Amino acid sequence: MGFKTGIIGLPNVGKSTLFNALTKSKGAQAANFPFCTIDPNIGEVMVPDKRLLALSKISASKETIPTKMTFIDIAGLVKGASKGEGLGNKFLANIRECDALAHVTRCFEDENVTHVNNKIDPEADIDIINTELLLADLESVTRRIENFKKRSGKKNDEILSLTFLEKVLELLESGIPIRQGTFFEEELNMLNSSQFLTSKPILFICNVDENSIKGGNVYSEKVEALAKTLEAPTLNISISIEQELSEISDEKELKEFLFEMGMNSTGLEKLIQTGYGLLGLCTFFTSGPKETRAWTIPDSIFAPDAAAKIHTDFKKGFIRAETVSYTDFLLAGGWLKAKELGKVRSEGKDYSVKDGDIMNFLFSS
């Protein structure tokens, strides 16, 4: 499964419609009724990347395989979720499994679509959800601290230190999401294994009316200001337009539609780009006559770890990696010419992979 982004927000803000548009799946029910998505819906989306087709053409590959991102449509959180309101605990458990969160806020007016609190006020909406996530973390950290203290004196196999937990507690008690705390490297490792909700990277999606995709509107401006204080990026997307876009299969028609709407790219592309940046991800490629394929990895990991994405044996028996940059590969017109021109580097275990690298791993089995 690819990197998992959970779509969260209050009921009726457009989460399932967005999910459907993203995955073109009819699975998530889009209906004007809070709680229509009882079970989380999981969908995989191919990551659009223009470089992939160009490489595939050069290598005359039989197959072209994009990398994927996973989206999860999480049912609407309501006030009191941390206390089990609505389907509280279940929603929170679904959020816990995600790598990042896309928080959808309602920034469009439409009297036919009910707002759970009867007022379009995205700041208040965000506050409701943030509070629930903070409360859930607060409860979890308090429980962990209690357990920690109970066990003291006995065999201690805790991965998380008490100092770390108390630091987290202090942040949460001041109403600060964990992601905004400052942590030492050791603590960052603890953070990664602790599965708190407010430590996950988050971006805000302003679901705006179709006239506000470019410039935003009064509501999205408020979200943007609030997101700044939370150090999180925002995206203006018109989900109803995305729904229309998702039904167009002809590429030329899609381009014309985008042009008419004054858009440079679809919301999906914007979401994936921002998600990639937020999560610190990049893409490397493998390319040959059999297939050209894109692989998602965390930014600048070492070559053997990138190799492990393809197969664990590639990492175990890693010898070196023939590596060429995307531009050099393109200019040379393939592996052979790139080698002749001396553009193919032989990289070892300490090489940190760059976005766009084309790699051929040599390994002993």
Ligand X SMILES: Nc1nc2c(ncn2[C@@H]2O[C@H](COP(=O)(O)OP(=O)(O)O)[C@@H](O)[C@H]2O)c(=O)[nH]1
Name which of ligand X, Mg ion, none residue 246 binds, using a CB cut-off of 5 to 8 Å depending on partner kind.
none
CA-based nearest residue to 78, from 159, 30, 132:
132
Distances in whole angstroms, Cα of residue 24 to Cα of each of 16, 27, 36: 11, 9, 18
Considering the complex, state which of residue 35 and residue 259 has its C-beta at the smaller distance from Mg ion: 35
Stretch that binds Mg ion, among 35-43, 195-203, 214-222, 296-304 (CB under 5 A): 35-43
What is the smallest separation between the CB atom of 92 and ligand X, expressed in angstroms?
A: 17
Exposed/middle/buried for 16, CB within 10 Å: 0-12, 13-18, 19+?
buried
**Residue 236 within binding range of Mg ion, rule CB under 5 A:** no
Considering the complex, state which of residue 61 and residue 207 has its C-beta at the smaller distance from ligand X: 207
Helices within the chain (DSSP H only): 15-23, 50-59, 88-96, 122-151, 162-173, 185-192, 218-229, 239-246, 251-260, 267-279, 303-310, 312-316, 326-332, 335-340
Q: Which residues bind ligand X (CB under 6 A)?
A: 9, 11-17, 30-32, 36-37, 76, 108, 110, 113, 207, 238-240
**Residue 20 within binding range of Mg ion, rule CB under 5 A:** no
Considering the complex, state which of residue 73 and residue 137 has its C-beta at the smaller distance from Mg ion: 73
Name which of ligand X, Mg ion, none residue 32 binds, using a CB cut-off of 5 to 8 Å depending on partner kind.
ligand X
Pair of tokens at residue 241 = 């337009």
Considering the complex, state which of residue 76 and residue 122 has its C-beta at the smaller distance from ligand X: 76
What is the smallest separation between the CB atom of 24 and ligand X, expressed in angstroms?
A: 14
Considering the complex, state which of residue 171 and residue 206 has its C-beta at the smaller distance from ligand X: 206
Considering the complex, state which of residue 12 and residue 67 has its C-beta at the smaller distance from ligand X: 12
Name which of Mg ion, ligand X, none residue 240 binds, using a CB cut-off of 5 to 8 Å depending on partner kind.
ligand X
Separation CA 141–CA 195 (nearest Å): 11
Name which of ligand X, Mg ion, none residue 235 binds, using a CB cut-off of 5 to 8 Å depending on partner kind.
none
**Residue 37 within binding range of Mg ion, rule CB under 5 A:** yes
Stretch that binds Mg ion, among 8-16, 77-85, 108-116, 188-196 (CB under 5 A): 8-16
Give the DSSP per-residue string, 192-207: HTT--STTS-EEEEEE
- The alpha carbons of the chain give a radius of gyration, in whole angstroms, of 23
Beta bridge partners of 321: 347, 361
Decide: helix, strand or coil at residue 58: helix
Distances in whole angstroms, Cα of residue 350 to Cα of each of 189, 301, 306, 360: 21, 9, 12, 16
Beta bridge partners of 216: none
What is the smallest separation between the CB atom of 126 and Mg ion, expressed in angstroms?
A: 17
Considering the complex, state which of residue 205 and residue 303 has its C-beta at the smaller distance from ligand X: 205
**Residue 41 within binding range of Mg ion, rule CB under 5 A:** no
**Residue 16 within binding range of Mg ion, rule CB under 5 A:** yes
Write the CB contacts of 23 (distance below 8 Å, at least 6 apart in sequence).
43, 44, 45, 71
**Interacting residues with Mg ion (CB under 5 A):** 15-16, 37
